[in-house]
Every structure is written in structure tokens, then in C-alpha cells.
Chain A
Amino acid sequence: MNQTRLHLFLALLVFSSCLLFVAFSVGSQVPEVKVVVNPSVDPKDLSVEQIRRIFSMRQTTWSNDQTITVYVLANQHQTHQVFSTQVLGMFPYQLDRIWNKLVYSGLGEEPIKLQSEEEMLERVSQKPGAIGYVAQPINVDKINVIKVLEK
């Protein structure tokens, strides 16, 4: 009896291990997404890990103690999906899960969700300490583009 139960558990472990090796790919024809900040933000470049930390809301202030205001686009927006997978190396549902945990367990706050890239550029340019991302050409003056440092 005990052995049967042990075998069942082991079989499940093997099955799940197989699932872990499921390959995936992301289409190559994707727009380039730029990380943008308000000109008040000091750093001109950020590593992928730092950007991931900021958009996961693990880092809430810049090194000069200025509060970071994080703007994101709606989940279904293509730029959000490209930013999430290509820049952060995460799937949109992973970000959702992190933000849900923050909001519904009191741990922190979620980013401010916007509907369009135009709104993103406008809000980032107006809010000191703000960070966001866009794929479209930048036609607003008060915006700095962050250089993303690859590993």
C-alpha cells in the first residue's frame, strides 16, 4: 500500500519534470520598446535586473530618495507584452501575479495602468521620478530614454 502511494508520487514528479522542458519561442518581428523616464531621474542607464526590480515594485525610490512612480500599459496592449517579455524577460501574467500579491496582501502598491502610449509619454514627462516605456517615436521634450545595460 505504502509502496503504491510512493510510486504514484514518483510518477507524478517525473511527469511534471517533463512538463518543465516544454520549449517556447517568441516571434521575432516585434517593435523595439524604449524605457523612458522623467528628466528629474538621475541614472542614464539601468541594468535589466534593476528595471525588473523597479517594475516588480521591489525598488520604490531612486538612489537620491526620490519616489519612483511606475506607469504601465494595459495587459492586452502589444507594447506591454513586448516590454514584459523582451525587456524584463517575464510573461505579463507573472507581473500580474506579483502586483496582485502586493495589492491584496498589503505588501505594496501596483503600478499605475494607462491605456495608450500618448498618455504614457504625457504622464512620464509631467511626474518627477516617473518611469514607463513606449514603442512609438518620442515626440515629447521632457522625456529621457534609458540605456538598458545587457548582462
Chain B
Amino acid sequence: MKLIIRIASLIVGILFTTFCVAADSLKINGFVAQGIVQAKDSNFVNDDGDVSVKLTEIGVNSAYRFNSSLRMAGQGVYLEGGNRYPDGFRIDYLFLEWQLLQTANWLIKTQIGRNKNYHWLYSSTRDVPHTRPSIVLPQSLYFDVFRDVAIGVDGIVLLAQTDNKWGEWDFNFSYGNSKISDEQKENLLGTYASGKLAHDTDTQISVYWRPSLSKFQYGLSLLDADFSYKQGDSDTLSSGEETSQRIMFNLLYQGQNWEVASEVMRERVIVENLLFPGFQSDLTAEGGYLQAKYFLSSQLTLLARLDIYDRDRRDRDGSNVQTLSQGLVPGYFGLMDQATTGVTWKFAKNIQIQAEYHKVKGTARLAPIFTPNTILNDSKYWDMWAIQLMYWF
């Protein structure tokens, strides 16, 4: 059945391409990508660690402008990522955009509906293969288990852009929430959680600055997200709340032959009850990555990246994790560091192939997060490789 859906989606994608070429006035774009991936000695992609074809990303988007200040835009995607996130079709974004102000130096607009997360370097197009630096993004920030929550919100977005003597500025604000599916809930809490997990509110703010005619860009973003859990029948968990508060800085340098990107974050995670009545936890995680891309030619790009994540900045080697669980959960569940190297070859117009290898230490970003799977993830060191062919239009 899954194979039929995958083939049908590929056909729909190709049909849309043909339609797009034929209809000049209608703006339709999209992408089709299929790959193979293997993450041995971990449950990152699948439980058995075998080679998997669960690396399918298909999307079609369209935008319609009613007049100079009102437009509508939407994108539907079909994704298969194994254990990384729930499979299937979904509306990626669908919103009404109203331009509030446009002057020589200011542009202010608002979007209402299902919006994208415009706050991080790659968050707004993390499912669009040819816009990403790698097939699997750095898990310290672009945490796949949390993908559906971080991808955007149903709510409102305010965007302001201005230019002044210091350069170009972008201000972004979003407020809303997102629906958490049962599979997403299991990724976070484990298969025995029978209750209902809700993403109550999500507020994000970000500022980007590109100094005048500079090759650098600097960004700052803040996030505050609240979740609640209502206990279900025969539930091993109890009702509780979780709050995440993130501060992130990012830097981007774009030269002729090199592109260097870095994002670092500090995230406070407060949990009340949830694991059992009276449970309290207030930890501050830290993480970030440094990434260099070298353009060998207009077709060939090399990538190197180091990504670091510590679940508790006061327990960087995870020894408290082991102690508090009375030895049941190994210390390496408190961290996850990842070295990545990759290559992208754009061998034809709008077609490229990407290949990468990841060497990973630690399992802190593997599902389920709140109830670690120590049987499937019994190795401190594990690795992963992936190859993906992608086409866009």
C-alpha cells in the first residue's frame, strides 16, 4: 500500500510539472526526492538498522495573488522518513497574506492560517531537499522527533523588512499552536502513553541583520512553547505540563567559494508531573553546529559539519542521567554529537544527487525522548549514511 502511495505521488508530481510548463499564468512549483538511508546501531530511521528507502519527500505548492496587497499560498507534502517523523500527506502551509505597508524602505505583512517557521536558518524549507545543506539536518536544533511541532504553527505571523544605513533587517513574529498526532506523541513520550498531548501555545520572535553590502548575516531568535498532557486509560504517564524556552543565535557567511553557517542555542525545558505525580525537572540544554560548504564548481559542493548537543549544561557527560535512573539509562542519553561530511552534485538543470555520512556519539535526540529506548539504542557510537536524488520545478 505504501509503495502504491509512493508511486502515485511521484506520478502526481510529474503531472504537476507538465501542467506547470503548460500554464504560464498559474504559479505552481514543487519537488520530488527519493533516497536510501541506513542508521546502524540506533533506531533513528528504523528499529532493525537495515538499509531503508524511507527517504521520500514530495511537495507541490501554489500561490495566487488577489491584488497587490492580498495573496494566498499553500503547499502539500508527502513524506516518508521512517522513525524520524510521521509518514503521509499533510498540508505544509496554507495561509492568507495581507500586505499592511510597503514604502521605499519598509515592507510589513501578516499571514493567517498554517504558517511556516521563518525563525531559523533552514526551518522554513527543512522538507525541501534541494534547499537544505544536507539530507539530515543537525539534530541539536533541527530535531526530527520534534519536526511536526517545529515546522510551523496554526495561527498568525507578522513579518517586517526594512533597509537603513546599517543594512537589511528582517523582524519575524509568530503565535499559534500545532496539532500533535498519535505517532508524534509516541516519538516524544513512548508507545505506552495513551493520553492526549497538546501543543497549547507557541510564540517565536526573530531578528536578522545583513550589514550593508556585506557577505555576513546575523540572526537571533527566541521561542516559548507550552505543552500539556492529559492522562489516558491505563496510562503509565500522568497528566502534566512541559515548557520549552529557547534562545538561538545564528551566523551565515556567503563568499565566492565558501559558505559558513553556524547556529547555537540554549534551551530551558521545564517538566511538571507527567512522568509521575509530583515529578519536577528544570534542565537547560545547549547545542549548536558549525558548517562549512565549499563550492568546487557550480555543480559540485562539499560539506563538513560538527554538531554538538548536551541535554543538561550542568551534566554534559550525562552522568546524572545514569545515576538518577539507577543505571537503567546510560550516560550517553544525555548528549548527542554528530560529525557530518557530504557531497552534492547538481548534474542537470533542477536535478541533483546528495550523499552524506554521519558519525554520531550519544543518543539524546533519538525517539522516544521522555522514555529512552535503551534496548534499540544500546551503542554510544553509531553511524549513518544517506543518498538522495532530488528534482524540483
Residue of A19, A67, A89, A100 near B131 (CB, 8 A) is A100
Question: What's the interface size class on A, roughly?
Answer: 35 or more
Q: Tell me, in angstroms, the Cα distance from A93 to B297 when the chains sit together.
A: 12
CB contact list, B280-301 vs A, under 8 A: 290, 292, 295, 298
Quote the shortest CB–CB distance from A40 to chain B (angstroms).
Answer: 15
| Cβ contact within 8 Å between B68 and A49 | no
For residues 111 through 133 of chain B, which have their beta carbon under 8 Å from a beta carbon of chain A? Answer: 111, 116, 118, 124-125, 128, 130-131
Q: CA of A53 to CA of B253 in the docked complex: distance in angstroms? A: 19
Measured CA separation A88–B257 after assembly (Å): 17
Partner of A106, one of B93, B212, B295: B93
Whether B131 lies near A97 (C-beta < 8 A) is yes
Contact among A5, A61, A107 with B316 in the assembled complex (CB-CB below 8 Å):
A5
The reply to whether A104 and B258 contact each other, CB–CB distance below 8 Å, is no
CA distance in complex: A60, B256 (Å): 28
Chain B minimum-CB-distance residue to A63: B104
Contact with A along B50-84 (1 / 0, CB 8 A): 00000000010101000010000111000000000
Tell me which of B61, B97, B125, B306 contacts A12 (CB under 8 A): B306
Residue pair A19, B258 in contact (C-beta under 8 Å):
yes
- Interfacial residues, chain B to chain A (CB-CB below 8 A): 27, 29, 31, 59, 61, 63, 68, 73-75, 93, 95, 97, 102, 104, 107, 111, 116, 118, 124-125, 128, 130-131, 159, 161, 163, 168, 212-213, 253-260, 262, 290, 292, 295, 298, 306, 308, 316-317
* With known contacts A16-B262, A106-B73, A2–B107 Cβ distance under 8 A: no
B182 → A minimal CB distance (Å): 27
B102 touches A60 (CB 8 A): yes
- Name the distance in Å between B315's Cβ and chain A's nearest Cβ: 10
Tell me, in angstroms, the Cα distance from A142 to B253 when the chains sit together.
Answer: 40
Contact: A100 with B260, CB < 8 Å? no
Which A positions have Cβ atoms within 8 angstroms of B?
1-2, 5, 9, 12-13, 16, 19-20, 22, 24, 26, 48-50, 52-53, 58-61, 63, 65, 67, 75-76, 89, 91, 93-94, 97, 100-101, 103-107, 109, 151
Q: Which residue of A lies closest to B31 (CB)?
A: A104
Partner of B255, one of A22, A100, A106: A22
Q: Which residues of A contact B256 (CB under 8 A)?
A: 24, 26, 91
User: Inside 8 A of B254's CB, which chain A residues have their CB?
Assistant: 91, 93-94
Contacts of A49 in B (CB 8 A): 163, 212-213
A2 engages B316 (CB within 8 Å): yes
Cβ–Cβ contact B107 & A9, under 8 A: no
- Residues of chain B within 8 A (CB-CB) of A52 are 213
User: Do A106 and B75 contact each other (CB < 8 Å), given the known contacts A24-B256, A63-B104, A100-B131?
Assistant: yes
Which of A1, A20, A105 interacts with B93 by CB under 8 Å?
Answer: A105
Question: Complex formed: what's the CA distance from A61 to B71 in Å?
Answer: 14
Whether A16 contacts B292 by the Cβ 8 Å rule is: yes
Whether A105 contacts B116 by the Cβ 8 Å rule is yes
Instruction: Check if B118 sits within 8 Å of A105, measured CB to CB.
Output: yes
| Known contacts A2-B317, A58-B168, A60-B102, A16 near B290 by CB under 8 Å | yes
Asked if B68 and A19 make an inter-chain contact with CB atoms under 8 angstroms apart, the answer reads: no
Write 17 A-B pairs (CB below 8 A) sorted by A numbering: A1-B317, A9-B308, A12-B290, A16-B290, A48-B213, A53-B168, A58-B163, A59-B102, A76-B298, A100-B128, A100-B131, A104-B128, A105-B116, A106-B75, A107-B116, A109-B27, A109-B63
